[in-house]
Structure 1
């Protein structure tokens, strides 16, 4: 991977404004001195040309003092940062290089040349997921020369085939308007035969607010087992602790199975899946099943994925919820700009449970967009909606089967320029609304999450 990163360095041309390194004078001014001490009066642009000439000749030690002087001119802040990062990368100081490149992109996310250099630095550092993300955004630049586009495309193919592991941690706290996911109704109508009776709900049956500590760990391992074949191991841990046991919610899921790269643009994987959920301090359910996923790169900036998931659920609280569930999920991603990726997804899911009144069919769709913004901010937004129809009625509530509309939305804002031990802050506002034909099952939920995330 490091050898490929070095080859990529040699192949990429400069896109920044101002004279390119390949176009500067072959003989730096310092070489024209005839004495040990050389004095010259240069404008800032002239000094920039001199610095570029020295860097092109790989005379970094001589370029650094001039570059420091150049940094005093605010008009050349971008060029100074870029060249400082370039020298740092060439000398193996990848942390400094990444810091300089990210500083530029935090002010101007549209600098494709800088984004490519940032991706290269991440690649040399072994952070392949970060490298792939920035290569993908760079590919959205329509002015990218064809030869560079080919190099970047090859880089992404190698990254996807060689990526060995991923590990992400996200910690935070979240005020929540409905920690027990309960109804927002004040009363309920129950039917005893044909006779409806009105009841007022106890406070314990209504939505309850609270603030919880949240944690998310995602880990993945890809082990090569043959040419174009790997073994995938995935672990997801997610939990919220509300300071007591009543509504604490934890989930754990593990998946393992082979992945086959049938071509540079097509991969197929099949994994066995096992999951457990704990709620209120007790084991709530266990699941076991399998999933098959297909990923297709339609172009350098577009990708589609399809996943089929089927699993058996055994619950500890109500045998009526035991049974099978299966779903088909499809997603599409497209880099719509040099700093933004849009997505769309659809799904269809079926549950065959012991109790027909709990068995249901659901289908829905969602759209979203994520972008890197100036000053180090990144933001994402998505909205989704689905329709659920149940197989049979619950006679106590209605003579008709339950039918729900479910809508959700999420807005996330983060800043990777601000870091604490490698963790970056984020703010996520999520809202959920269920509109049911049976009022008791209608509810609202809003969650505001303050988090610190690190992506290894």
Structure 2
């Protein structure tokens, strides 16, 4: 028969401490060669913004990993192939309407108001004739630029043109000429973010050299006149596991199974997230500006235990280095609240660089260092370093690829919680007929901790691997004040050698995306 556990062994497992996590074992023991059950209760300090809880993780079989990779690769190929088909050889076709030739002649002679007078009733008489709607939009854009047009008339004409061009692109997203005029309409309305987005898609359509030159001038003007920006958004966030908790009851210490007295249940529910912010660029010279900006966000969930608020602010110079590069150096501060209490405060520096490699490829780089101070969890105080490189490639007028690589280092006071993370993400989006836009991305993260994570490991440092899969869809044909509802679903899996820190979570989002 096997030996009984000694009193020394009892003391060893009776009170085990890892900073932020404490295990208490009861005095009930059974024979060591059988299942030795120790009733355990767990207490922990919240050290994770997402309320990560405890789970015993079973490694995924290789076949599942291979299947996930194959599905992600097949989806990417499908999106690219679909976009290529949509973008090929789509063009405007003249209609047989008798007045179209007259309207076209008026446009060619610069008589835009007269052409618009003819084309407006034609769009109602021929709702399915794409070319008539395009000519009407073109006439409205040019009429808005006439000297005698008031600001109100100008705005109304541009809105009329934008609505007509948007309607065409719902079913014909590969029409580069239509997208070019839509970009111009946004530019004249000073909706520069949307104008730049559509100009970038135009360049991916390999337009003639004179058109490329004109588009580049528009883009340069957008950058030169940029003075301020504002954003606002909200989303509903249903989730199957709000706190990323697990109902796993058993862990193993010294080869013995422990049962947790209290297991946090996986809680499902719907959260509400709202955010806003903006920035101002004050000109200090021809190629130098002073940037100011702030960001605010709030998330609320049922029961209030996962509520959080965020406020950030930055200030610093920006330099325009040539036509394709800008560099910023910013002082940056951030404050996070959990429920209604301050959680941590960051203060540091952030540098940003934006560079256009070609007319359809962009790179963004960011490096930041912050000193972080927690209100209660002193052992987590320390510094954070983040390095990120992002790239975007508009492959076709209907296909966009995005990728990112990153590195993060948290140098906490406690060696146990010191860690570094390496991550990468690849995604694609495709503009489809009937107004649909679909997208998907895959992200992989690897985190390594420095300290001894016993009893959650056998004594080695903790290592996490996280996979995040995301899919989105929205319909451009359905808009409310220029916004379309976007539906997103995200699945996240964390594999770890630490018995209690893995989780599996699926969540959704319903947000509104600006269309026009």
- TM-score tier, shorter chain, comes to 0.7 to 0.9
Q: Does 1:72 align with 2:125?
A: yes
Question: Counterparts in 2 of 1:249-264, with a 5 A limit?
Answer: 249-264=308-323
Q: How much is the aligned-residue C-alpha RMSD, in angstroms? A: 2.2
Instruction: Give, in angstroms, the shift of residue 183 of structure 1.
Output: 3.4
CA distance in 2, matches of 1:201, 1:230: 59
1:54/1:63 contact within 8 Å kept: no
Q: Does 1:133 align with 2:197?
A: yes
The residue that corresponds to 1:430 in the other structure is 490
Q: Deviations over 1:128-159 (max 9, x none)?
A: 111000000000012x1101101111211221
CA distance in 2, matches of 1:402, 1:182: 18
Q: 1:339 to 1:66 in 2, by over 3 A?
A: closer
CA distance in 1, matches of 2:369, 2:333: 11
Question: Counterparts in 2 of 1:200-219, with a 5 A limit?
Answer: 200=260, 202-203=262-263, 205-219=264-278
The residue that corresponds to 1:50 in the other structure is 102
The residue that corresponds to 2:480 in the other structure is 420
Instruction: Give, in angstroms, the shift of residue 396 of structure 1.
Output: 3.1
Q: 1:188 to 1:401 in 2, by over 3 A?
A: same
Match of 2:499 among 418, 430, 439: 439
Q: Does 1:17 align with 2:78?
A: no
Q: Deviations over 1:384-436 (max 9, x none)?
A: 10111100122232211100001112212223432223432111112211111
Q: 1:201 to 1:137 in 2, by over 3 A?
A: farther
Q: 1:368 to 1:446 in 2, by over 3 A?
A: same
The residue that corresponds to 1:40 in the other structure is none
Q: 1:59 to 1:130 in 2, by over 3 A?
A: closer
What are structure 1's unaligned runs of at least 5 residues?
A: 1-14, 20-42
CA distance in 1, matches of 2:276, 2:230: 7
Classify the secondary structure of the residue corresponding to 1:227: coil
Relative to the length of structure 1, the TM-score reads 0.85
1:186/1:206 contact within 8 Å kept: no
Q: 1:116 to 1:454 in 2, by over 3 A?
A: closer
Instruction: Give, in angstroms, the shift of residue 362 of structure 1.
Output: 1.0
Q: Does 1:188 align with 2:263?
A: no
Q: Does 1:83 align with 2:131?
A: no
Q: 1:98 to 1:73 in 2, by over 3 A?
A: closer
The residue that corresponds to 2:288 in the other structure is 229
Which deviates more, 349-358 or 207-216? 207-216
Relative to the length of structure 2, the TM-score reads 0.75
Q: 1:232 to 1:49 in 2, by over 3 A?
A: same
2:295/2:313 contact within 8 Å kept: yes
How many residue pairs get aligned? The number is: 413
Instruction: Give, in angstroms, the shift of residue 442 of structure 1.
Output: 0.2
Match of 2:238 among 175, 183, 197: 175
1:177/1:209 contact within 8 Å kept: yes
CA distance in 2, matches of 1:431, 1:201: 29
Instruction: Give, in angstroms, the shift of residue 69 of structure 1.
Output: 3.8
CA distance in 2, matches of 1:355, 1:167: 39
Q: Does 1:166 align with 2:211?
A: no
1:169/1:454 contact within 8 Å kept: no
* Structure showing greater relative contact order (alpha-carbon pairs closer than 8 Å, 6 or more residues apart): 2
CA distance in 2, matches of 1:157, 1:407: 39
The residue that corresponds to 2:31 in the other structure is none
CA distance in 2, matches of 1:374, 1:226: 45
The residue that corresponds to 2:456 in the other structure is 397
CA distance in 1, matches of 2:395, 2:373: 43
Instruction: Give, in angstroms, the shift of residue 94 of structure 1.
Output: 0.5
CA distance in 2, matches of 1:118, 1:62: 19
CA distance in 2, matches of 1:293, 1:183: 39
